[in-house]
Amino acid sequence: MKLSRLLQLPLALAPLLAPVAAEHTSNWAVLVSTSRFWFNYRHLANVLSLYRTVKRLGIPDSQIILMLPDDMACNPRNAFPGTVYSNADRAVDLYGDNIEVDYRGYEVTVENFIRLLTDRVGEEMPRSKRLLTDDRSNILVYMTGHGGNEFLKFQDAEEISAFDLADAFEQMWEKKRYHEILFMIDTCQANTMYSKFYSPNIIATGSSEIDQSSYSHHADNDVGVAVIDRYTYYNLDFLETQVREPNSKKSLGDLFDSYDESKIHSHPGVRWDLFPGKEQGGRERLVMDFFGNVQNVEVDSVGNDTEWKEDLLALGKKIAELRERAEAAEVAEKNTNVPNPSVGTHTSRKIRAAKVQVDDKWWGKKAVGAWALAGCSMVWFLGTYLESS
Amino acid sequence: MVSLLSSSVLLRRNPLILKLPPYLSFLCIVIGVAWLLVLPLDNYSRRTYISENALLPGQVHTYFAGSDQNVFRGYKREVDALEGSGNIEVNDKLEEFFKASGLKVARQSYEYKSAGETYAGENIYAILHAPRGDATEAIVLVGAWWNMEGKLNRSGVALILTLARYFKRWSLWSKDIIFLITADSKAGPQAWVDAYHDTHQSGMVDSLPLKSGALQGAVVIDYPFDHRFQDIHIVYDGINGQLPNLDLLNTVVSISGHMGIGTSLQQMWQHSDSYRDRLQTMLRGMLNQGLGHASGPHSSFIPYHVDAITLQPFGEGWQDEMAMGRVIESTFRSLNNLLEHLHQSFFFYLLMQADRFVSIGTYLPSAMLVAVNFTIMAIFLWVKSGSPNGESSNVSLTVEAGEKKTPLAIVKEGDAKALAPEATIAVRERELFLPLAVVAGSQFLGVLPLYIFNHTPEAMLHPIFTAFTSINGFFPLILSALLTHYFAPTAHHYTLIKTFSLLLLGLFLSSLATLNFSLAFLVGLLSAPLTYMQPLPNRPIVKGVLAVLLSALSPTTVLVAGCWWWELGIGRVLKEAAFGWDVWGMTTQVVVWCVWWPAWLVGMVLLFGNPREEKVKGAGNTIETVKT
């Protein structure tokens, strides 16, 4: 026990370091469409519209990772070759001149996506295909495609689960690859995709609840397909009409309040609980913190001040963890039968992951079976009895 | 273990079990028929829906209108002018038109011989290569110069020429489009499809000089009149009861619906969505499927797994030929969206109306139950034929009477042993040769009418059929007399003959039900009485009544009755059947002559049978019984 008391010291120092984490110095966007094929035109149009918006608000191409699994502009079915539109008025050609697709076609896979987020890439990977973020980067992650309960399909071939995504974000956090994340997803049962997140500093929003479909907004009858989804359409609508210039002071609260369920035809969800300031803090965040760029520069203090502090923080965390584990082991030794609550969040996470459904009707089924058997034999005996008499 | 073993042995002899099967098999037939009759109800049928996401029916604007109407009128005049011309002359002109539209054109001539007649002609087709697509897939727009009724497809051909010119202007095709104009509706499409897949008989059918990619779908226009129409009649039956993917039909129904054009099926020109109309549509569909003939030029495509339908405008309304053209345009835009072959929706279905269907899982039990009735009876008779004495009831009687004397036997199975009355476990030796020979012989006899009717010139078909029908009337009598005279079968033999005949029938029909449900159901229903046929030497009146009933349900009588009901010439029907056999590869005749007819023959022979008094040999001990 002496040990643990000794370890209190760095822990007490740790909170002193907290105020440093206040502002971000760079903005990144990861924009992913996960479906191919002509009839999924709208998913690519969704992503391209968002791509265009973040570029308009100041994020440079070098800080946007754009993943497009198919090439709608060059599809032979496209009545307007070389273009992609997200509105039937066809005012803006999203495919235009200035577009940099980082991952395309069959490069858009679950593996590549997770490698991108966690930066587990080979030497040969060009910088344009890497998410070169640090702990001062705000990241906008936007995904769209066909999904279901806790999964999102990639190219009809594989799917990413909510757990994969949550673990990827956790790894990013551990590797200090983000400051804050705004996660947006437009797919059927979208809100289930962020339900498993457990890493801090994430605000998540999705287009529809569990068992709810996400709908397309309208079709272009000359292109012959739906061109944009509702949720994305109304997000863009807000961004284009309310956030007109980079110094806009509109907050995320304004954005989320603009969602009109009667227009979106599904129930968009927002998750605040991972964010330090919870809902209050999250709502005050500016839209521009994620959709725009910043020019903040953080100058390293004299010497290796920050590094030292970081190390101390890490050390403190490590010690805390060790102490927790030691305590847990001790308690477990004392009473092996009683489940130990102090094992901490780690265990509870695992329990959350393993969803085994208990069959409540077990006895009922047994009874029905027994009755059926008894009935059969009764009929049998009756028949034999009647026959013999 | 012991009790289990002895109970399973006793089960075979349980009087209750032995009485049950005839009622059970009758119940199967009743439930099978009732099952079919409830299908049109809302609870058992479903509304159709588009399964394939890629199709997106009716989501595009159609632009086939305006000046194209003048083009259509021009082509129409040209087609009208060609009405009296010969096949080659017509094709010369059509080639000119297609070439003027900037398409590659090719021709193919064919010559089939069937029932002593020659069917010759020349098909012409043009290929529009997808401007930005690869040439790996194609869709076909077909029009026959002469339609199924022998009318000139005047508006249809003009529409295809106009659409060819119009489609050429679009750059959005992902698949090649083939415009095919066949000389007739029956042989021409078959010759072309065969040659496209290189399965044609060289010498009779020319190879195609020009080809494109794998065919993804085909739409036939059958529009033989000038005036405006009201609705579209969709014909979808393929050869041998095969059907196109339901999604194709749904696409056209949905597109026409968007354009305010109604759709009808199976010549139900009026459909009030009532139970009666639904049932009628379904039964007509089943009849067409059961006959297995080609119902339009599209039918020839279906055996090659190319989904195809024929569209026939009908009625007097305000829809003009441009509306028809727009339906085709929109359908082709939908087919153009396809990424892979139509496969999402059903290939086995019964339609009640344009937007209501039942799928195979729902309707199959009905034909299966009818087929299973034969199998149940066959198994029952097999078990019964193994009992030591003919009448099963005797067993219980003897056992009760001489309870103390009953010899006991030891039954062994593995380590388990049990005591049982010897009579119950004794299995009588079955004399299989004669029954097997009779059943096999009648099966082989079926080849005879099959060959005769498929290889007789048309003029001879009717006389030969008359002769065959009359012979068929008393042939079973002769066969039965011969059998009694030379082989003197016992009741035991007759039981085994019936066992094998029913077993085969049950097997054939249940396999057939998965391929051509309607045919299996119809044949099963018509041969249902065969389950209950047995020699009735001492009851001449019942025998006479049953003989009349069976004769009324013989394949020949049913054919005659069908021809009379639909006012068709028997010669014509047989000629069509022979044509189907020679050209389309239709197999309905095989089922009729090699499955149904032999079973019927054996049923008649059984009925006229006269079993000899028998000496029965048990396996364990010899028991002498005299039949009462």
Kindly state whether residues B193 and B262 are assigned to the same domain: yes
**Helix, strand or coil, per DSSP, at residue A17:** helix
Residue A321: CB partners within 8 Å, gap ≥ 6?
none
Cβ separation of B339 and A38 shorter than 8 Å?
Answer: yes
Q: Is pLDDT of B2 > 50?
A: no
Q: What percent of chain B has pLDDT over 70?
A: 89
DSSP label at residue B146: B
- Predicted structure pTM score: 0.81
Interface test with A, best of B61, B128, B136 (most A CBs within 10 A): B61
Of all residues in chain A, the one with the smallest CA distance to B176 is A76
- Give tens-digit pLDDT for B567-623: 888 888 999 999 999 999 999 999 999 999 999 999 999 888 888 876 544 444 433
Contacts of A81 in chain B (CB under 8 A): 132, 171
Enclosing domain of residue B118: 66-271+292-345
- Give tens-digit pLDDT for B161-214: 999 999 999 989 999 999 999 999 999 999 999 999 999 887 889 999 999 999
Rounded alpha-carbon distances, angstroms, from residue A257 to A238, A247, A269: 10, 20, 11
Show which of residues 216-245 on chain A sit within 8 Å of chain B, judged by CB atoms.
219, 221-222, 224-226
Minimal Cβ distance to B174: which of A77, A221, A387: A77
Is any Cβ of chain B less than 8 angstroms from the Cβ of A381? no
Over residues B242-266, the mean pLDDT reads: 93
Q: Is pLDDT of B558 > 90?
A: yes
Enclosing domain of residue A144: 24-291
- What's the rounded Cα separation, in Å, for the pair B511 and A2? 82
A322 within some domain: yes
Over residues A153-159, the mean pLDDT reads: 89
- Give tens-digit pLDDT for B213-233: 999 999 999 999 989 999 999
Contact B295, B237 (CB under 8 A): yes
Residue A299: per-residue pLDDT: 67
A96 within some domain: yes
Give how far A381 is from chain B: nearest CA, Å: 11
Residue B416: per-residue pLDDT: 61
Which residue is catalytic, options A24, A146, A179, A217?
A146
Instruction: Identify whether A376 is a catalytic site residue.
Output: no
Cβ separation of B59 and A76 shorter than 8 Å?
Answer: no
Query: Which of A90, A210, A110, A212 lies closest to A155, judged by CA?
Result: A110
Kindly state whether residues A184 and A273 are assigned to the same domain: yes
A136 within some domain: yes
Q: Is pLDDT of A17 > 50?
A: no
Is any Cβ of chain B less than 8 angstroms from the Cβ of A38? yes
Instruction: Identify whether A188 is a catalytic site residue.
Output: yes
Contacting A with CB below 8 Å, chain B residues are 14-16, 53-54, 56, 59-61, 130-133, 170-174, 333, 336-337, 339
- Give tens-digit pLDDT for A346-372: 444 444 445 556 677 788 889 999 999
A238 within some domain: yes
Give how far A269 is from chain B: nearest CA, Å: 27
Cβ separation of A384 and B337 shorter than 8 Å?
Answer: no
Kindly state whether residues A39 and A127 are assigned to the same domain: yes
Kindly state whether residues A96 and A243 are assigned to the same domain: yes
- What's the rounded Cα separation, in Å, for the pair B173 and A78? 9
Kindly state whether residues A346 and A231 are assigned to the same domain: no
A359 within some domain: no
Kindly state whether residues B398 and B546 are assigned to the same domain: yes
Of all residues in chain B, the one with the smallest CA distance to A382 is B16
Kindly state whether residues B7 and B104 are assigned to the same domain: no
Kindly state whether residues B80 and B209 are assigned to the same domain: yes
Minimal Cβ distance to B172: which of A78, A219, A384: A78
Is any Cβ of chain B less than 8 angstroms from the Cβ of A77? yes
B622 within some domain: no
Query: Which of B608, B508, B488, B619 lies closest to B548, judged by CA?
Result: B608
Cβ separation of B131 and A225 shorter than 8 Å?
Answer: no
Interface test with B, best of A35, A36, A39, A213 (most B CBs within 10 A): A39
- Number of domains chain B contains: 2
Contacts of B131 in chain A (CB under 8 A): 76
Residue B407: per-residue pLDDT: 57
Q: Which residues pair with B309 in a beta bridge?
A: B219
Average pLDDT, chain B: 86
Contacts of B174 in chain A (CB under 8 A): 38, 75-77
Contacts of B15 in chain A (CB under 8 A): 387
- Number of domains chain A contains: 3
Residue B390: per-residue pLDDT: 45
- What's the rounded Cα separation, in Å, for the pair B166 and B283? 40
DSSP label at residue B226: S
Sheet holding A158-161, edge to edge: A147-148, A151-154, A158-161
